[in-house]
Homo-oligomer: A and B are copies of this chain.
Amino acid sequence: MKWTETLIATLREDPQEAEIPSHRLMLRAGLMRKLASGLYTWLPLGLRVLRKVENIVREEMDRAGALEILMPILQPRELWEKSGRWESMDAIMLKARTHGGRELVLGPTHEEVVTGLVAGEISSYRRLPVNLYQINTKFRDEIRPRFGVMRSREFIMKDGYSFDLDEAGADRSYRLMYEAYQRIFRRCGLEAMAVEADTGMMGGRESHEFMVPAETGEDEIAVCPGCGYSANVEQAAVREGQFNGARTGEAVREVPTPGLRTVEELAEFFSASPRRFIKTLIYLAGGKPVAVLVRGDREINESKLAKKLGGAQPVLADGETILRVTGAPLGFSGPVGLEGIGILADYSVAEIADGITGGNREDLHLVNVNIDRDCPGLEFVDLALAAAGDPCPSCGKPIAVRRGIEVGHVFKLGTKYSRALGAVVKDEAGGERPAIMGCYGIGVSRTVAAVIEQHNDDRGIVWPAAVAPYQVLVLALAPDQPGVPEAAEEIISALAPTGRDILYDDRPASAGVKFNDADLIGFPVRITVGKRFLRTGLAEVKHRASEEVHTVPPEEVPALVDRLLA
């Protein structure tokens, strides 16, 4: 392909809106353009990368025995009511309504559709296992789309669903996908790690996320340098409280704290560590208020809280509710004497010595609170977000926390959807059993961005060969000089049998512009011919990643390119 015959639109300046490298580089290198918030057009260069990632995903899914199908984007409301997710997932779903009044979901995921399909097609254990997948556009009503295709309203996903007769089969299907995912990300040039993850809105009993470690990632991963344990911090168990100093034995005392509401303000006022505070948050879960206690330096893990509350997604209560249930406005809640409301306490508050907490009266806090003495009978559970230094739930050594980008997620779903939607099969004995499901997602467009997050430098992208838009750039300096285009064409012809994707920069532009564009877009190998070639008969071959440069005669180019791309 000639540069002048395609549409490559590089930008000289960094786009202001872009906060992270992949977003910035995808715009600057002309891989995509923004249409509106969270909506991007893939330009020819970007689409080539996207398709290469798609093909790697497709090949590995097929190799693992999964079957490709294509389900509708639009899904009828009734199906989502059957699974109970019409309401529970409302906040992130985009919906459309026909002129005739039918309500449709723009699929954020396809458990309902695929389970309904299998319910209709498969009735005997003989047809199991089956694993169906699709590569399709998905939708999510992000409140604040950002980071380009990393968190957008519309994106390409591979979603797959396995159906097995028994747990052993389901475990096998899960393992096959887990291994396929490892191969997929490796082939894309990604260093990805599988970490234990929360099952969240999908339900089910086990799940792993595939995380690409990156400073710009939105997820936090707890990693144990000791035993190798790794988990999303939302999932990582925080087993024990920690000892927080000796008790003085003094009685609880009231201290006026006019207008002081946050742990930071109060820590300063009391000259006390945030670790001495019993933070008391009022949540609403299914409309019912509940008080949740956690140590002042820690955060509540709402996923864990949801599970403790039986699945309903908790939301922080409004000021009016807080006033009604505690007697005080926001900022002055505490567990001492709090009645008529359930209290859930994180392990971290169990051993706070002489703690500080709200007094359930405006502008009042209590000091010298010892929770076993002053709030007797509380049970302590795991509600906190894991943090660096927490003991590893596996070996007890202190964990580290790294940031990561979630590119894939595999779940053991169990029978939640097969029961709700009737995916029941006859087993060998003639009995009926709901199929045991797994589901498996890969963010295809997000994977493109993750590759760039891991492979860039101050000049631009440094594509791994397998997903580069073109693997080789043949760059003609002074292409109007007789002999130069001929030399370029000769090298392109010599490379043709290798099956490499080749782009030919035939623009009548300056060497500076052309070299900068080549580095910015990040073609793995650049081959330059110009006046020097006319003098010496040698082409310059440069490897983007290693910056190795070779000057070789045209006939040696193909072997060198093979070596550099290996």
Contact = CB atoms under 8 A, between A and B. Distances in A.
Contacts of A143: 99-100
B99 A141 contact: yes
Contacts of A98: 94, 141, 153
Contacts of A116: 35
A143 B69 CA distance: 27
15 contacts: A6-B67, A7-B130, A35-B113, A35-B117, A36-B72, A37-B102, A41-B69, A44-B67, A44-B68, A73-B137, A74-B153, A74-B154, A95-B96, A99-B143, A106-B106
7 nearest A-B pairs in the assembled complex, by CB-CB distance: A42-B70, A39-B72, A36-B76, A94-B96, A96-B96, A41-B71, A44-B67
A534 B100 CA distance: 62
A136 B73 CA distance: 12
A396 B40 CA distance: 52
A136 B47 CA distance: 13
Nearest to A156: B70
Given A33-B120, A121-B7, A47 B70 contact: yes
Contacts of A117: 33, 35, 41
Given A95-B96, A100-B143, A117-B41, A73 B35 contact: no
Size class of the contact patch on chain A: 35 or more
A161 interface: no
A75 interface: yes
Contact of A50 (B42, B70, B100): B70
A35 B75 contact: yes
Contacts of A72: 35-36, 39-41, 154
Given A5-B65, A7-B130, A37-B102, 6 more contacts: A6-B67, A33-B120, A35-B75, A39-B72, A40-B72, A44-B67
Contacts of A113: 35, 41
Interface of A: 5-7, 9, 33, 35-37, 39-44, 47, 50, 65, 67-76, 91, 94-100, 102, 104, 106, 113, 116-117, 120-121, 127, 130, 132, 136-137, 139, 141, 143, 153-154
A31 B100 CA distance: 28
A132 B74 CA distance: 26
A74 B34 CA distance: 12
Nearest to A95: B96
A399 to B, nearest CB: 36
Contacts of A154: 72-74
Contacts of A9: 121
Contacts of A68: 44, 47
Nearest to A43: B69
Contacts of A106: 96, 106
A74 B5 contact: no
Contacts of A75: 35-36, 39
